[in-house]
Structure 1
Amino acid sequence: MIVLGLTGSIGMGKSTVAAMFAEEGVPVFDADAVVHRLQGPEGMLVAEIEAAFPGTTGERGVMRGALAERVLGDGEAMRRLEALVHPAVAREREAFLVAHREQPLVLLDIPLLFEKGSWSLVDRIVVVSAAPEVQRARVLARPGMTEAKLDHILALQMPDSEKRARADYVIPTGGPLEETRDSVRRIIACLEARADS
């Protein structure tokens, strides 16, 4: 089995590309979706997060805005949160890999693949990338996003140019969706041929 890591900075189209891999039959582990489930209604992390950060959960699980206000800009608080979240996500990822061990190719969709050292978990890395103006337009169109929030997020992420330099494959996402889909299909074909050899 080849484990392919997918990453990219905010607004680069990572979710769209992950969906394309899934549509082509590649099992996809979505780290963000796992976090949402673990922090959602009856999620396994809700009680622990409430204990560590009182007043940040409710009937629907973790109130992401309230939690973000508590941890953003506070390194110690962020480390405490990550100490809860990262091991839980790691357990889910291991279960995913075991469940799909007979597949020739699986995809781990991990937003902070480089920033958190998760690159060591994968055999090959795909980075999605678009021009900075495309990225900014996409992100600023999101509800509640501001220039200041975007700049803060970008400051926490490895620059796109460095991610591209460290990637085995780069998928440009600033053009037509079919061009992006063609890139996905070429990568799958290349890796499945390698897995078969």
Structure 2
Amino acid sequence: MRIGLTGGIGSGKSEVAAELERCGAFVIDTDEVARAAVAPGSPALAAIAENWPGTVVDGVLDRGALAEAVFEDDAERRKLNGLLHPEIRRIAFARESNAAPGQLIVHVVPLLFESDYARLVDRTVLVVAPPERRIARVMARDGADRDAVQARMRAQIDPERARALADEIIENDADIERLRDRSRDLYRRLAAAPNG
């Protein structure tokens, strides 16, 4: 069974993914795949350099410059996503060949619902957390200020829309052990499902 795991920034999806992996799932993190997709010498990196001059310096992606070039411009962000998402999917699905037969496969996809990735998985799982908790986590983790975190949150899918689209929801509204318990419960349910 192929699972798509998502959640807004600071929701705890990485911790859920780590717990699912400890339970026996094969986890593919598309953020890590995205880094591979724009590795020096890759076709995607060449396309980025051509479309957004100044974002590739000495053959290496300047992530800050690229974010600045596309973050506030929906058309440019869509253009970038249209360029990167097919390559990310290609690499991610190729990595599935490393999973054991019958192993639960979890794709961690920040833009699961915003892209067409959700249609490529059997079940979708959304991790949710209270907004203030998410803001505090991201500020501590990234050293970002409140306004920057809130801007990133606003750029993501509306939380209520994401809830409506998800097959499963994990509430991250307590301590880390509670989140891990909920993740293990989810793993047991998914592994026992007919396609699991």
State how far apart, in whole Å, the 2-side matches of 1:118 and 1:46 are: 21
Code of the residue aligned with 2:177 in structure 1: it is E
CA distance in 2, matches of 1:117, 1:38: 18
- Gaps spanning 5+ residues in structure 1: where? none
Q: How many pairs were matched up?
A: 196
Are 2:131 and 1:122 aligned?
no
CA contact (8 A) 2:135 2:150 kept: no
> In structure 1, the residue corresponding to 2:154 is in which secondary structure?
helix
* 1:190 shift after superposition: 1.3
Q: Give the alignment's Cα RMSD to 1 decimal.
A: 2.2
Deviations 1:62-119 (A, max 9, x none): 1110111111222332233222211111111221234437234110111111112322
Q: Which residue of 2 aligns with 1:180?
A: 179
TM-score (norm 1): 0.87
Matched-pair contact (CA < 8 Å) for 1:126–1:167: yes
Which segments of 5 or more consecutive residues in structure 2 lack a partner in the other structure? none
Name the SS of the counterpart of 1:35 in structure 2. helix
Q: Between the two proteins, what is the percent identity of the paired residues? A: 36
Change (3 A) 1:60 1:30: farther
Q: Which sits farther off after the overlay, 184-193 or 62-71? A: 184-193
Q: Tell me if structure 2 keeps the 8 A contact 1:104–1:195.
A: no
Per the alignment, in what secondary structure is the counterpart of residue 193 of structure 2? helix
Secondary structure, counterpart of 1:141 in structure 2: helix
Give the secondary structure class of the aligned counterpart of 1:113. Answer: coil
In 1: Cα distance, 2:31 partner to 2:153 partner: 17
Q: Which moved more, 1:99-108 or 1:27-36?
A: 99-108
- Pick which of 187-196 and 20-29 moved more: 187-196
Alignment of 1:150-161 (within 5 A): 150-161=149-160
Residue type at the aligned position of 2:158: P
Alignment of 1:22-171 (within 5 A): 22-59=21-58, 61-100=60-99, 102-143=101-142, 145-171=144-170
TM-score between the two structures when normalised by the length of structure 2? 0.88
CA contact (8 A) 2:124 2:167 kept: yes
CA contact (8 A) 2:113 2:165 kept: no
Aligned to 2:4: 5
User: Which stretch shifts more, 103-112 or 42-51?
Assistant: 42-51
Question: Within 1, Cα distance between the matches of 2:186 and 2:142?
Answer: 33
Partner secondary structure for residue 125 of structure 2: strand
8 Å CA contact 2:5, 2:107 repeated in 1: yes
